[in-house]
Chain A
Amino acid sequence: MGNLEFGLTMIVVGMGGTMIVLGLFAVLMALLKKVFPNREDEAAE
């Protein structure tokens, strides 16, 4: 594999992959908050 091909792959997969994975983490965190709500919120509802 040439340097150009390697560099472009790392940039595209690396940046895209990091963004997608952290986006997934954000969704998971939102889900976690739904599954384990704060008890004060529950009481208020």
Chain B
Amino acid sequence: MFDAIVNGLSGLGAGLVEMHWSNPVMIAVGGLLLYLAIKKDVEPLLLIPIGFGAILINIPLAGLMEEEGFLRTIYNMGVANELFPLLIFIGIGAMTDFGPLLEDPKIFLLGAAGQFGMFLTLGLALLFGFSKLDSVAIGVIGACDGPTAIYVTSKFAPHLLGAVSVAAYSYMSLVPVIQPPIMRLLTTEKERTIVMDTGDTKPVSKEARIAFPIVITVIGGLIAPKGLPLLATIMLGNLMRESGVVGRLAKASENEIANVVTLLLGISIGATMDGRLFLKGETLLILAFGFLAICLDTVCGVLFGKLMNLVTGGKINPLIGAAGISAYPMAARVAQREGLKYNKFNFLLMHAIGANTGGQVGSVMAAAIMLSVLQGMGLVP
């Protein structure tokens, strides 16, 4: 009887006995993510479930990520098969107005330049000894697009999912801090004061708005079929929005579905942050590369904006080049704010929004091209 009581008591507090040094550190990291989300308003929708998931997974013996564990069930349900990021993309498509981009289609090119950081960072990660597929996952942080980063990483480097996701979402929210010094460094005061003309842009017809997602899906899918799920889901959401006949589906996609999936996605990502696997020098390097990727995106975007300024005879304000990334609408607001600092009557917002939505399509297309090139090389099935 006494033995039974002792054995029974030994089960209590077993988690404490089994704790590895990395577990309390990661519980503190989870706490830090919660602090950033709650007190500093840094991507709270994602960082609260991620932070809480990180805390849960670092409590030993709970078995949450074992075969029957509830976090493993959620992970298998939507992260391992890449379903969750795709569902979020439908919501993003449903809430994005591509109108400003369609009004001035040449702005699309800024959305391409804003993705160059992805590829340059991929090259740097290879130089630092990461494997090819790990480098692809690290580079894709530069898409400044959480769902794309999660989609690619869960497909090719699931062991890096926690680090890549945290880097992608954290830096995305730090865009207003990261971008302005680079924008100022690369532009002259004269360039920053350029007022962009809106006279030659015309409103787009409803038919063109409806045709846009269909054409982009078909052409983009034919060019880079491996990335079709990414492109198709964002365009499906946008088609529902622009068609105007499935308001309930569009609203559900951008609200209920996106909210539920965000919760499940966040907690699953947190569940990959087991201290024994997460606390490595590699993780710090990934965080550093993520920062670099976003800086390089900004550099390439602004430089391409300068080139477009040259080609158009001074009609483009290079500041909007920085908005050619996918962080929507933060990057556009940053361009608008910087423009206003140097000319109180310079309203760049609509142009920057155009570049920003171009960056959303650009990030998806860049990832699609990346995946299709990998397939072409025979590195992925």
Contacts and interface: CB of A to CB of B under 8 A. Distances in A.
Nearest to A30: B105
Contacts of B122: 7, 10-11, 14
B205 interface: yes
Contacts of A37: 205
Interface size class of B (residues with CB under 8 A): 35 or more
B361 A10 contact: no
A24 B219 contact: yes
B361 A22 contact: yes
B123 A38 contact: no
Contacts of A19: 109, 112-113
Interface in B187-218: 202-205, 207-208, 211-212, 215-216
Given A8-B123, A14-B366, A23 B109 contact: yes
Nearest to A38: B205
Nearest to A12: B119
A11 B219 CA distance: 22
Contacts of A13: 369, 373
The 5 A-B pairs of least Cβ separation, nearest first, read: A36-B207, A29-B105, A22-B112, A26-B108, A26-B105
A10 B130 CA distance: 15
Given A6-B132, A10-B136, A18-B369, 11 more contacts: A3-B126, A8-B123, A11-B119, A14-B369, A17-B224, A18-B116, A19-B112, A22-B108, A22-B358, A29-B208, A32-B102
**Residue of A11, A21, A27, A28 with most partner-chain B CB within 10 A:** A21
Given A19-B112, A22-B108, A33-B102, A10 B373 contact: yes
Contacts of A3: 126-127, 132
A5 B204 CA distance: 44
A16 to B, nearest CB: 9
Nearest to B129: A3
Nearest to B369: A17
Contacts of A39: 205
B373 A9 contact: yes
Contacts of B365: 18, 21-22, 25
A43 interface: no
A6 B220 contact: no
B106 interface: yes
A24 B216 CA distance: 10
Interface of B: 101-102, 105-109, 111-113, 115-116, 118-120, 122-123, 126-127, 132, 135-136, 139, 202-205, 207-208, 211-212, 215-216, 219-220, 223-224, 358, 361-362, 365-366, 369-370, 373, 377
Chain A contact residues: helix, strand, loop or mixed: helix
Nearest to A3: B126
A36 B120 contact: no
A23 B112 contact: yes
B108 A29 contact: yes
Contacts of B109: 19, 22-23, 26
A21 B227 CA distance: 13
B235 to A, nearest CB: 12
Given A25-B216, A25-B361, A39-B205, A7 B123 contact: yes
23 contacts: A3-B132, A6-B132, A6-B377, A7-B127, A9-B377, A11-B122, A13-B373, A14-B122, A14-B369, A15-B115, A18-B366, A21-B112, A21-B224, A22-B361, A25-B361, A26-B105, A26-B108, A28-B219, A29-B212, A32-B215, A36-B211, A37-B205, A38-B205
B289 to A, nearest CB: 14
B202 A38 contact: yes
Nearest to B135: A7
A34 to B, nearest CB: 9
